Structure 1
Amino acid sequence: MRTTTVITVKIEPYIYDMILRGQKRFEVCSESFHGADFICYVNPETDNEFPLPGLPYTDESIYYLGPEQRFDRDSDEFVQRLAGISKGEFYKLFPRPSVVAFTGQINNLYAAPIGERITNTAEIFQEESLWKR
């Protein structure tokens, strides 16, 4: 028996397009991915998964997720490049903490490689597929 974890992330459609084009290959979060195996991208405007390109009536935006790495905020420039987004967008999503001890702002960031897209949700439950990242 194996526990399989799928996390859901709401992202803007233009960022999802960057994933489809291969421009964005890492997911960055302010919290740990907690060993998640898959990531499901959801459109914040509709609360639905993104459709497959050219097939507007499908919902398949689940991807394999590789192992995470933790970075302190001194690595922001490197993590921003991993995220594949502009510096302005990066600091909008992950504001740099000034006095962390008192503000409770983000101390660390986590990055994980985005793997292949799942083309059939049944793949999630196939144990051998978990090593296909």
Structure 2
Amino acid sequence: MTKSTVATLKIRPSIFDLIRKGIKEYEIRDSSLEGVDIICYLDSETGAFLGSFTVDGVERVGRSADQQTIERSGVNVDTFFELFPPASVGGPDALWVAKLQKPVDINDALGIG
């Protein structure tokens, strides 16, 4: 039996489209993604299922690395700072960066398909 840890995350459909098109290759969050094997995305407004991706590694990065994190995020600078304000104005002092690998059928991944 294989154990998989699934994180269910809400995301704007416009940002999920960037993942689906291969433009956005990393998931950035202000809470830990350590130990996550699969990310299951839900529409942030409706809760509708959007898709799932396997994860190929997670790292915690300090805010001094924001420029590199912005580049990896696949979104523009304004959107990045809207989602993750700088620590100097009350934002998180660290972010978690997960490398997205490939789309996966969540039922198959969980062995219920």
* Contact 2:40–2:106 under 8 Å retained in 1: no
The 5-angstrom pairing of residues 4-23 of structure 1 reads 4-23=4-23
Q: Distance in 1 between matches of 2:62 and 2:44?
A: 28
Q: Distance in 2 between matches of 1:26 and 1:83?
A: 6
Structure with the higher fraction of residues in strand conformation? 2
| Post-superposition offset of 1:123 | 2.6
How large is the RMSD of aligned CA atoms in angstroms?
A: 1.8
Alignment match, 1:111: 97
Q: Which moved more, 1:88-97 or 1:111-120?
A: 111-120
**Which residue of the other structure, out of 77, 80, 87, is the alignment partner of 1:97?**
87
**Which residue of the other structure, out of 49, 53, 59, is the alignment partner of 1:63?**
53
Structure 1 unaligned regions, length at least 5: 51-60, 127-133
Q: Distance in 2 between matches of 1:93 and 1:64?
A: 23
Alignment match, 1:124: 110
Q: Give the match's secondary structure for 1:34.
A: coil
Which of these two proteins has the greater Rg computed from alpha carbons?
A: 1
| Post-superposition offset of 1:98 | 1.3
How many correspondences in the alignment? 112
Normalized against structure 1, the TM-score is what?
0.77
The 5-angstrom pairing of residues 33-52 of structure 1 reads 33-50=33-50
Q: Is 1:24 the equivalent of 2:20? A: no
Normalized against structure 2, the TM-score is what?
0.90
Deviations 1:78-113 (A, max 9, x none): 0011011000000011100117xxx5x411111011
Q: Distance in 1 between matches of 2:70 and 2:55?
A: 18
Equivalent AA in structure 2 for residue 41 of structure 1 = Y
Q: Distance in 2 between matches of 1:45 and 1:30?
A: 19
Equivalent AA in structure 2 for residue 44 of structure 1 = S
Q: Distance in 2 between matches of 1:5 and 1:65?
A: 10
Q: Runs of 4 or more off by more than 4 Å in structure 1?
A: none
State the identity %: 29
